[in-house]
């Protein structure tokens, strides 16, 4: 016959040993001690320690910690509303290709040393640095969730810099090269190239534009939605809100682009959407990209990607004197880190500025400088 306690439950087994259990916080499932006890006092002492951990907020759910990383990670991908379609597909792929050795490991056995060994092995393998970095970031996110949910005490992902990859410097097209691309591409896509280059829109944002998003009186474009195309099921494309509130933005259109947009509205736009396929259906991002690939080949810009057009426009904007806040607004960034990279164009002009200052001084009062100073310059 078991005896009720204020916390937990102890009962004597036919073997003469004692079994202890308790109901997890919040009215959850009943949890059993990991082993039986020689005496009732030992069983009660174990329950006292558990109760103390719960009161301090340090108790860990041992049953949940026995769940495998793979099952827990898939549940997060399924349930988290903040994970977009493309990132979900990326994580699912990386689970199969790069995290396969960890999917059957219980969460409580994913130690810092085990993560370090996995990461070192992944770097020695055939996987690319970018995909390994993505895999590590996903692993870290999953384990952070496990910490928040009281399943593990500490995130084992402790490798400095493992989740970042220093990307190669993106190419910047010149205004003349943008013109060449516009001339070379199918006329249906000319406006898309110009909006990417001079307004800084992403390909999905361009595909998601509506006719009503263009104001030719105020010369603005408003980004309200982005078109998403799942890699494994193109037929299920849909429009969604930008990732952050900053992504919803109104951008001034450079005056030289306005006539081209006006012509596009007359000849190529759909009834509702700014960009449509020949059959009137929403423009597929892949169709735009393939047209761009053919155009860049014609003009000898094989290394330029469509996203580099966005980089080009913002770099040129930085050169005109745009501030960090200006760039964040045009790009739709909610943090300064992403926008700051475009200011390197301004930093790179420092030597030119210094030279120009000397040229200016040469026409001024530089002759008044002491002889020992002018001799050193």
Catalytic choice (188, 190, 273, 333): 333
Tell which residue, 82, 16, 8, 12, has the closest CA to residue 47: 8
SS3 state at 32: strand
**CA–CA separation, 197 vs 193, rounded Å?**
6
DSSP result, 15-50: TS-EEEEEEPTTT--EEE-SS-BSSHHHHHHHHHHH
219 among known catalytic residues: no
Residues pairing with 12 in the sheet: 18
Task: Find out whether 46 and 34 touch, Cβ atoms under 8 Å.
Answer: no
Contacts of 125 (CB under 8 A, 6+ apart): none
Catalytic one of 264, 310, 311, 330: 310
Q: Is 63 a catalytic residue?
A: no
Orientation of helix 175-184 relative to helix 306-319, angle to 10°: 150
Q: How many angstroms separate the CA atoms of 334 and 248, rounded?
A: 11
Render 240-298 in DSSP notation, one character per residue: E--SSGGGSEEEEPPGGGHHHHHHHHHHT--SSBSSB-TTSSBPPHHHHHHHHHHHHHH
- Spot the catalytic one: 256, 307, 344, 349: 307
Strand pairing partners for 228?
A: 238
| Coil/strand/helix, residue 7 | coil
Which residues lie closer than 8 Å to 127 by C-beta, 6 or more apart? 97, 98, 135
Residue with tokens 């952050």: 244
98 is catalytic: no
What would you report as the CA-atom Rg of the chain, rounded to the nearest whole angstrom?
Answer: 30
Q: Which of 202, 203, 249, 264 is catalytic?
A: 202
Rounded Cα gap, residues 373 and 377, in angstroms: 7
Residue 72 a catalytic site member? no
Local structure of 332: helix, strand or coil: coil
Q: Look up 310 and say whether it is catalytic.
A: yes
Query: What are the residue numbers of the active site?
Result: 202, 307, 310, 333, 342
């Amino acid at each position: 016959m078991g005896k009720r306690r204020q916390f937990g439950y102890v009962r004597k087994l036919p073997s003469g040993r004692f079994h202890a259990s308790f109901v997890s916080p919040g009215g959850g499932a009943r949890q059993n001690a990991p082993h039986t006890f020689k005496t009732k006092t030992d069983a009660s002492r174990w329950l006292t320690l558990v109760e103390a951990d719960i009161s301090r907020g340090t108790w860990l759910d041992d049953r949940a910690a026995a769940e495998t990383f793979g099952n827990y990670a898939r549940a997060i991908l399924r349930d988290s509303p903040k994970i977009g379609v493309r990132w979900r597909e990326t994580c699912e792929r990386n689970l199969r290709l790069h995290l396969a050795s960890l999917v059957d490991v219980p969460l409580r056995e994913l130690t810092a040393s085990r993560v370090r060994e996995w990461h070192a092995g992944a770097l020695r393998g055939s996987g690319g640095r970018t995909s390994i970095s993505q895999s590590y970031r996903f692993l870290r996110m999953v384990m952070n969730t496990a910490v928040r949910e009281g399943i593990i005490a500490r995130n084992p992902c402790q490798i400095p810099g493992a989740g970042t990859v220093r990307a190669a410097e993106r190419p910047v097209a010149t205004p003349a090269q943008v013109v060449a691309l516009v001339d070379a591409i199918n006329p249906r896509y000319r406006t898309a190239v110009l909006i990417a280059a001079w307004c800084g829109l992403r390909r999905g944002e361009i595909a998601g534009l509506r006719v009503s998003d263009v104001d030719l009186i105020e010369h603005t474009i408003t980004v309200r939605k982005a078109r998403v195309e799942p890699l494994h099921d193109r037929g299920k494309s849909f429009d969604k809100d930008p990732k952050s509130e900053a992504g919803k933005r109104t951008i001034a259109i450079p005056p030289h682009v306005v006539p081209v947009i006006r012509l596009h509205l007359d000849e190529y736009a759909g009834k509702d959407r700014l960009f449509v396929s020949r059959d009137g259906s929403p423009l597929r991002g892949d169709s735009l990209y393939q047209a761009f690939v053919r155009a860049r080949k014609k003009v000898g810009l094989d290394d330029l990607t469509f996203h580099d057009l966005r980089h080009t426009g913002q770099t040129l904007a930085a050169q005109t004197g745009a501030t960090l806040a200006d760039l964040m607004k045009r790009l739709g960034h909610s943090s300064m880190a992403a926008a700051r990279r475009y200011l390197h164009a301004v930093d790179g002009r420092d030597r030119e500025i210094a030279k120009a200052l000397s040229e200016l001084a040469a026409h001024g009062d530089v002759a008044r400088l002491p002889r020992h100073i002018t001799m050193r310059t």
